[in-house]
Structure 1
Amino acid sequence: MSIRCFRFLPDGTVETRDALPARLPDDGANPSVWWFDLWAPTPEQVQSLSDLMSLESHTIEELSEDDGRANIDYFEDYAGLLLYGMLGAEESDQPRPRMINLICTAQAVATVHAQSIGSIEYLVGRVTRIAPQVSKKGVGHLLFLHLDKMVDNSMMLAKRYEQELEVLEDRSVDIDCEDDLLEDLADVRRRVLDLWQVQVAQREVLIELCDNELDHLSDEGRRRLEHVRDHMTSSLEIVEILRGMVGEVRENYRTTISLRSADAMNKLTVFAGLMLPVSVIAGIYGMNVPLWPDPSRPGTFWVVIGSMAGVMAALTVYFRRRNWL
């Protein structure tokens, strides 16, 4: 879809190109740092990148795949990372795992991806601002910026999911909560699980990256990667809490439904209690035997009805005092 090349010059400026160079120039003692970004590349463009960076066949195969577990491979002249970003370039993009192949050599970083990646577009938009630091600190700093922004986006996404779960939690304790809460909860649960799976795999990659020494990483660069690793661990802890919140919201919903059912049964029981003495009186007076008051007297019917109403009124007062109504 597009190729973007950035050359960070020793003087702190950056050159932008829309095509891969035929080869990397020899800049002597102060080499430039390159960033090649390939978005949905064609096989020919992948081959051009392979020729430029002297990639192994295994790496070329990974660049052509559209899925895989996050991992890191070390080769003689470069390291290849398979990572996942969760956010797209646009606010309207739905969060989902988006594969990124990141290749790091002593002089260049290449990012290859089939979909828009929020962290990459963020750095592209600030390429002039980051140029002095990248030129000064080298390719390790550019690698750090990519990884750090990916982790920042994961943390931001975890915060967003936390807010959604807090809303669902409030809904789950409302006695009038609707059944669509479970559908909304299932959607959030799926997205939280996607984020958790991505972060678990990427933390393993960061741990391995910090434990293994890359020749083109300075001591400061390694410390920065350790910071990213710790940041990822903190983000993963938040996601673990979110997974627990999903279960709590589900239990709250079940408890609320049980309370609502119990409340309905309580009302039905009280109503049955009110009708029971009336039914007894009606049953007794329904027998064909003389009873008090004399059936032949005028108003006998209303005396019986009044007695029933009095009993119901007395029971209603009693039930209210016991907080059953």
Structure 2
Amino acid sequence: MDVSLPADPYHPPASSSALVNGSGWQHLTAPRPTDWERAGQLADDWDFAQDILDPDERSWLRRDGGRVFITLQFPVKGGDADADSWEQRPLGVILQGPRITTVLARELAPLSPFFGQMEHLSSPPESVEILAAILKILAQSYEDALHELNAAIHDNEQQLDWTQSNGDFFTLLEISKSLTRFEVALVGNIATAFKISRLPEIRDDLPATRQIDTALLELQVAHERARVYAGTSTSMMDAYAGMVQNNINHGLKVVTVLAMIFYVPSLLATLYGVNTTLPFQNTHWIFWVIVGLGTSVSVGLTLFFRRKGWI
């Protein structure tokens, strides 16, 4: 399959490619109007292709006569600079009887093996079976992504236990944002998958119906996991933020206590260090009185604060 990959997912390339399979399946990557028409699609449906080129397009299903237009959101991992960030990219599906068309703005890693396998099949499955397989891949892709994010949460937790650095907090924040995006995207995917399962074309095919129902159940499980993980990451952020604030307060308290302990000896040393006439300055024992008094006060304050648990 000739698939062109844009360097930037937000700006598809000027060229695109299409593959038409003898089973009635065809695939378009970042199509232009000429590619759209050459693939046998109506010019009035070009808005659907433009929707797929928008990375923020949500999941939905619309029937127009004998055609069914579907968009699904697949999870996509961020770049090397932001390895714990995940986003969603839309897949477009046009179902028209025995014919099915898939549309992407750029290649999606979870779908590439499936499309590559489809290309080399001598007798590809029916359109509804292809759609059911896509939903199955969609559910599995979210399961894999959630597994990676859960592992990242545990790794980040261990890092925070040791470092409590700002970088680790920002990593946890990015994980929390990704999980929130997953939670929202899965709601749309579940609603769309449910509508797909109610299509007459699907209900007439028992194996496809079972596969879509299984995929729908897995999407619901993935949504629940995303919700739990998002809550866990948020609770971790709150807990570590509170712990850091508590450590700061404890550090300030210790510094204040130490300052108070050394304040009296410092005050006495300052008073008897001024260049003026002082009581008992000519006696030989006044030095030891001042040292003893300062030490006694410091020791007493130390014992008092230690009993209070402040140091």
Structure 2 partner of 1:307:
293
Q: Please say if residues 35 and 109 of structure 1, whose CA atoms lie closer than 8 Å, have aligned partners that are also in contact.
A: yes
Equivalent in 98, 103, 114 of residue 107 of structure 1:
98
Q: How far 1:168 moved relative to its partner?
A: 3.2
Instruction: State the alpha-carbon separation in 1 of the partners of residues 206 and 185 from structure 2.
Output: 27
Q: How far 1:316 moved relative to its partner?
A: 3.1
User: Between Structure 1 and Structure 2, whose CA radius of gyration is higher?
Assistant: 1
Instruction: State the alpha-carbon separation in 2 of the partners of residues 122 and 323 from structure 1.
Output: 62
Q: Please say if residues 196 and 202 of structure 2, whose CA atoms lie closer than 8 Å, have aligned partners that are also in contact.
A: no
Instruction: State the alpha-carbon separation in 2 of the partners of residues 128 and 46 from structure 1.
Output: 20
Unaligned runs of 5+ in 2: 5-16
Instruction: State the alpha-carbon separation in 2 of the partners of residues 321 and 86 from structure 1.
Output: 56
Counting only pairs closer than 5 Å after superposition, residues 67-106 of structure 1 correspond to structure 2 as: 67=54, 68-87=57-76, 95-106=86-97
Equivalent in 26, 33, 41 of residue 36 of structure 1:
26
Q: How far 1:228 moved relative to its partner?
A: 0.8
Instruction: State the alpha-carbon separation in 2 of the partners of residues 311 and 262 from structure 1.
Output: 25
Q: Please say if residues 82 and 100 of structure 1, whose CA atoms lie closer than 8 Å, have aligned partners that are also in contact.
A: yes
Q: How far 1:284 moved relative to its partner?
A: 8.3
Q: How far 1:110 moved relative to its partner?
A: 1.5
Instruction: State the alpha-carbon separation in 2 of the partners of residues 159 and 109 from structure 1.
Output: 31
Q: 1:186 to 1:130 in 2, by over 3 A?
A: farther
Structure 2 partner of 1:45:
35
Unaligned runs of 5+ in 1: 5-17, 25-31
Output one character per residue of 1:205-258: Cα deviation in whole Å (capped at 9) or x when no partner. 011111232268412211211111111111111111122123212211221122
Counting only pairs closer than 5 Å after superposition, residues 225-304 of structure 1 correspond to structure 2 as: 225-278=212-265, 290=279, 294-304=280-290
Structure 2 partner of 1:168:
156
Q: Secondary structure at the match of 1:33?
A: coil
Q: How far 1:140 moved relative to its partner?
A: 2.2
Q: How many aligned residue pairs are there?
A: 292
Given residue 70 of structure 1, which amino acid in structure 2 is its aligned partner?
A: S
Q: 1:234 to 1:319 in 2, by over 3 A?
A: same
Structure 2 partner of 1:154:
142
Instruction: State the alpha-carbon separation in 1 of the partners of residues 59 and 250 from structure 2.
Output: 51
Q: Secondary structure at the match of 2:93?
A: strand
Instruction: State the alpha-carbon separation in 2 of the partners of residues 221 and 245 from structure 1.
Output: 36
Output one character per residue of 1:21-73: Cα deviation in whole Å (capped at 9) or x when no partner. 6xx9xxxxxxx63321111222212112235xxx582x332013323331112
Structure 1 partner of 2:11:
none
Q: Secondary structure at the match of 1:118?
A: coil
Give the superposed CA RMSD: 3.5
| The 10-residue stretch of structure 1 (260-269 or 275-284) with the greater mean CA deviation from structure 2 | 275-284
Instruction: State the alpha-carbon separation in 2 of the partners of residues 268 and 216 from structure 1.
Output: 73
Given residue 307 of structure 1, which amino acid in structure 2 is its aligned partner?
A: L
Q: 1:177 to 1:95 in 2, by over 3 A?
A: closer
Percent of aligned pairs sharing the same letter: 15
Given residue 88 of structure 2, which amino acid in structure 1 is its aligned partner?
A: P
Given residue 139 of structure 2, which amino acid in structure 1 is its aligned partner?
A: V
Q: 1:119 to 1:297 in 2, by over 3 A?
A: closer
TM-score normalized by the length of structure 2: 0.78
Q: Secondary structure at the match of 2:111?
A: helix
Q: 1:178 to 1:161 in 2, by over 3 A?
A: same
Q: 1:3 to 1:250 in 2, by over 3 A?
A: closer
Output one character per residue of 1:249-308: Cα deviation in whole Å (capped at 9) or x when no partner. 221122112211221132123214413543675688789674xxx543324213321332
Q: How far 1:75 moved relative to its partner?
A: 3.6
Q: Secondary structure at the match of 2:40?
A: helix
Q: Please say if residues 91 and 104 of structure 2, whose CA atoms lie closer than 8 Å, have aligned partners that are also in contact.
A: yes
TM-score normalized by the length of structure 1: 0.75
